[in-house]
Amino acid sequence: MKHTILHLCTAAAIGLAATTAHAATTLDTVRERGKLICGVSTSTPGIAYPDDKGRMHGFDVDICRAVAAAVFGDAEKVDFVVTNINTRFQAVQSGEIDILSRQSTQTFSRETSLGIDFGPTVLYDGQGLMVPKTLGVTSAKDLTDAAICTLPGTTTAQNLTDFFRTIGGKFEMVVFESPDENRAAFFSGRCEALSSDRSDLAAIRAVANNPDDYVILPETISKEPLAPAVRQNDSNWRDIVAWSSWMLMAAEEKGITQANVDEMLKSEDPEIQRMLGVNEDLGKMLNLDTKWGYNIIKSVGNYGEVFDRSLTGIGLTRGPNTLWNAGGLLYAPPFR
Amino acid sequence: MSFFYDTRIRALFYQSVAIVAVLLIASIMFSTASDNLAKQGIATGFDFLWRQAGFVISETSIAYGPTDTVGRAIFVGIINTVKVSLLAAIFGTIVGLLVGIGRLSHNPVLSRLMLTYVELLRNVPLLLYLFLWYALIISVFPPVKQAIQFFPGFFLSNSGLAMPSVAFESGFEPLAVASVTSIVAAIATRIFLLRRHRETGQERPILLLSLVAFALPLIAVALVSNITIVWDIPMVGKFRLAGGYQIRPEFVALLFGLTLSVSAAVAETVRAGIQAVGKGQWEAATALGLPRSRTMRLIILPQALRLIIPPLTNTYLTVFKNSSLAIAVGYPDLVMVSNTVMNQTGQAIETIAIFMGVYLSLSILIALLMNWYNARVALKER
Residues A43-70 have pLDDT tens digits of 788 999 999 998 999 999 999 999 999 9
Among A117-131, A143-157, B24-38, B331-345, which stretch is predicted with the lowest mean pLDDT? Answer: A143-157
SS3 annotation, B45-114: CCHHHHCECCCCCCCCCCCCCCCCEHHHHHHHHHHHHHHHHHHHHHHHHHHHHHHHHHHCCCCHHHHHHH
- The answer to whether the CB atoms of A177 and B56 lie below 8 A apart is no
Average pLDDT of every residue of chain A: 88
Q: Is the pLDDT of residue B358 over 90?
A: yes
Q: Determine which of A8-17, B106-115, B226-235 has the lowest per-residue pLDDT on average.
A: A8-17
Write the CB contacts of B363 (distance below 8 Å, at least 6 apart in sequence). Answer: B317, B320, B321
Question: Which residues from A are below 8 Å from B328, CB to CB?
Answer: 176-178, 181
State the best of A26, A156, A170, A174 to mutate against chain B, taking most chain B CBs within 10 Å: A174
Share of chain B above pLDDT 70, in %: 98
Instruction: Write the residue in B135, B143, B343 that is nearest to A152 by C-beta.
Output: B343
Given a cut of 80, is residue B39 above it in pLDDT?
no
pLDDT given for residue A5 in this prediction: 46
Q: Is the pLDDT of residue B18 over 90?
A: yes
The pLDDT assigned to A155 comes to 72
Report, as an integer, the average pLDDT of B291-297. 88
Between these two residues, B210 and B263, which has the higher pLDDT value? B263
Do A134 and A212 contact (CB within 8 A), yes or no? no
SS3 B40: coil
What is the count of residue pairs from A and B with beta carbons less than 8 Å apart? 158
pLDDT at A2 over 90: no
CB contact at 8 A, B349 and B33: yes
Give the closest of B36, B143, B332 to A175, CB-based. B332
Which SS3 state, helix, strand or coil, does residue B169 take? strand
Contacts of B66 in chain A (CB under 8 A): 161, 165
Q: Is A152 on the interface with B (CB under 8 A)?
A: yes
Residues 6+ apart with CB under 8 A from A181: B131, B134, B328, B329, B330
The shortest C-alpha distance from B37 to chain A (Å) reads 8
In tens, the pLDDT along A286-317 reads 999 999 999 999 999 999 999 999 999 888 88
Does the beta-carbon distance from A153 to B344 stay under 8 Å?
yes
Residues of A in contact with B244 (CB under 8 A): none
**Confidence label for A281 from pLDDT (cuts 50, 70 and 90):** confident
pLDDT at residue A130 in the model: 94
Interface mutation target, options B56, B57, B321, chain A, most CBs of A under 10 Å: B56
Burial of A325 (0-12, 13-18, 19+ CB in 10 A): exposed
Which run of H or E residues covers position A81? strand A78-82
Q: What is the pLDDT of residue A23?
A: 53
Collapse the DSSP code of A124 into the 3-class scheme (helix H, G, I; strand E, B; otherwise coil) and give the result. Answer: strand
Chain A: give the shortest CA distance to residue B315, in Å: 16
Cβ-nearest to A15 among B33, B143, B352: B33
Nearest-Cα distance to chain B for A118, in Å, is: 15
Nearest residue to B264 via CA among B323, B330, B307, B311: B311
Residue A141 neighbours by CB distance under 10 Å: 14
Instruction: Express as a percent the part of chain A with pLDDT over 70.
Output: 93
A114 shares contact with chain B (CB less than 8 Å): yes
Query: Residue B319 above 90 pLDDT?
Result: yes
| Chain B partners within 8 Å of A177 (Cβ) | 327-328, 330, 336, 339
- pLDDT over 90 percentage in chain B: 39
Quick check: B57 pLDDT over 60? yes
Does this model's pTM top 0.80? My answer is no
Contact B325 A145 (CB under 8 A): no
Q: What does the pLDDT read at residue B288?
A: 92
* pLDDT score of A271: 94
Question: With an 8 Å Cβ cutoff, are A3 and B339 in contact?
Answer: yes
State mean pLDDT over A248-256. 96
For β-strands B245-247 and B148-151, DSSP reports them as unpaired
Q: What is the mean pLDDT of residues B97-106?
A: 90
The rounded Cα A8 to chain-centroid distance in angstroms is 26
Number of Cβ atoms within 10 Å of the Cβ of A230: 25
- To the nearest whole Å, the CA of B238 is away from the closest chain A CA by 7
The full DSSP string for B220-276 is HHHHHS--EEEEE--EE-SSSEESSEEE-HHHHHHHHHHHHHHHHHHHHHHHHHHHH
Lowest mean pLDDT among A31-35, A83-87, A164-168, B77-81: A83-87
Q: Is the pLDDT of residue A236 over 90?
A: yes
- The arithmetic mean of pLDDT across residues A143-154, rounded, is 82
> Could you give the C-alpha distances from B176 to B170, B186, B203, in angstroms and in order?
12, 16, 33
pLDDT at position B243 is 78
Q: What is the pLDDT averaged over residues A81-105?
A: 89
Please report residues of A whose CB lies closer than 8 A to that of B332: 175
Predicted-complex ipTM score: 0.73
- Calculate mean pLDDT across residues A279-287: 89
Q: Do A184 and B138 touch (CB under 8 A)?
A: yes
Q: How many CA atoms lie within 13 A of B158 on its CB side?
A: 24
Mean pLDDT of B211-223: 85
Residue A4 has pLDDT above 60, yes or no: no
Q: Which residues of A touch B158 (CB under 8 A)?
A: 188-190
Which residues does chain B have within 8 Å of residue A90's beta carbon, measured at their own beta carbons? 348
pLDDT score for A18: 47
The answer to whether A17 faces chain B, any CB pair under 8 Å, is: no
Which range has highest mean pLDDT (A235-244, A308-317, B182-191)? A235-244
Of A143, A153, A165, the CB nearest to B340: A153
